[in-house]
Amino acid sequence: MTRSLFEVRDYRHLFGAQVVALAGNGLTTVALGLLAFKVAGANAAAVLGTALAIKMVVYVLVAPVAGAYAGRFNRRGLLVSLDVVRAAVVVALPFADQVWHVYVLVALMQSASAAFTPTFQAALPDVLPDVEQYTRALSYSQLASTMETLSSPLLAALLISVIDFHWLFAGTAAGFLGSAALVVSSRVPNAVVVGGYRVRDRVVSGARVFLATPRLRGLMGLNLAVAGAGAIVMVNTVNLVQDTLGRPAADVAWLLSANGLGVLVIAFAVPMLSARFGDRAVMLTGGGVLFLAAASAGGFTFTSADQWQWPALLVLWAAIGVGSGAILTPTGNVLRRSSAPHDRPAVFAAQFSLSHACWLLAYPIAGWGATVAGYSVTWMVLAGLAGTGACVALWCWPAREPEALEHVHPADITDLDHVRGTAATAVGYVHTHTFVIDELHRQWPHRCRSAA
């Protein structure tokens, strides 16, 4: 019987380090928005949108390369160093008084964050050699990233009500140092570098699996839907609350918390809903909710701080959270179903990088669009992105997708053990089994049927 993941001391400490670091990152997001408002005033949305776009560029470029090289360094030393770098940058952020200072510091901090996640995930199979435990750990990592959406803004809201927002940076720095302490207290084995190791193959292998797997192409569309609607929340909340509605800084965090509450509520319901309706139905419904919520937000005209606008915004932000949670919570299970065990780190890293590429598109639209064209036009454009993503997912992800697929291997296949017991036919070896893209299965079968 497989023991609980949290009975494994080293994993328990590493997971704690990830959770603490994620909370720190979330606090930084809230504090960064308020800092942008202080530095740039009415142009805060453009500044924040650019800063978050820089973050996404770093994630897209650094994460896959860091994942490929993660096995070549002392993992524990690297994780601790990355936490220390992030803590140092966060301490410097409150002293930024020029927009370019914010951009440089964000680039440095997010480079460290982009390297932390794939290094953490690369260590998991060595800390947890049991395949079932390892798969659950990847899903917990994905869920922790999702739940951070709730915990950090809620914690920020409580803190801002009693202290100046600059102290959020101090709390974030303490979180990163706490993460480093937990990593130090764990034993993180170094990887064994196998001969013939090709970094390029590691970088592109996850993306290759995504492109060849229909349900993962659908997931890419849903990533776009999450980014399109989510950018409204992440980029425009600060200006909307403080500049347009004239509400206090604490309400920024409360509105973000409404979004996180939506994520939390649906996260508890998703396992039951997925068991009854399937991951596809739940996630596509989430895409539809995101489109409707973003389009409804685009219908707002902020001519005055009418009393009804604030509760309506709370509902819409919560709805965006529900839609995002319905997509993000089952994502780990979809990635697991779509990859062989030895390819899972690359596939999870690809999801990390490709999903952030969607945010890279959405963030500048939300920031600069709101500054130049106003909220309504910009949010309608972002609603269009969300709707396009949902339609792509509906088109690419087949409604009927059996796990076992009939497919053909050529007669000159080199791995005869894979087709042992299968009779050769005129077209090659035809057999049926649970199908994922890997070295032996490079393309999805165009004509297939489920196993009897």
Tell me which of 447 and 209 has the higher pLDDT: 209
pLDDT score, position 120 = 78
Per the prediction, the chain carries an average pLDDT of 78
Residue type, 197: Y
Q: 240 pLDDT exceeds 90?
A: no
- pLDDT digit string, tens, across residues 336-392: 888 877 677 778 778 877 888 898 899 889 988 888 888 889 999 999 999 999 999
Contact call for residues 138 and 67 (beta carbons, < 8 A):
no
Architecture of domain 5-396: Up-down Bundle (1.20)
The number of residues in the chain equals: 452
Task: Tell me which residue of 4, 390, 394, 332 sits closest to 142, measured CA to CA.
Answer: 332
Grade residue 261 by pLDDT with cuts at 50, 70 and 90: confident
The Cα 138–Cα 1 span in angstroms is 20
Q: 1 pLDDT exceeds 70?
A: no
Kindly list the domain boundaries of the chain, sorted by start residue.
5-396, 403-452
SS3 408: strand
Q: 295 pLDDT exceeds 90?
A: yes
Ordered alpha helix ranges (H), 128-249: 131-160, 166-184, 199-212, 214-238
pLDDT score, position 89 = 87
pLDDT score, position 298 = 87
| Cα 216 from chain centroid (whole Å) | 14
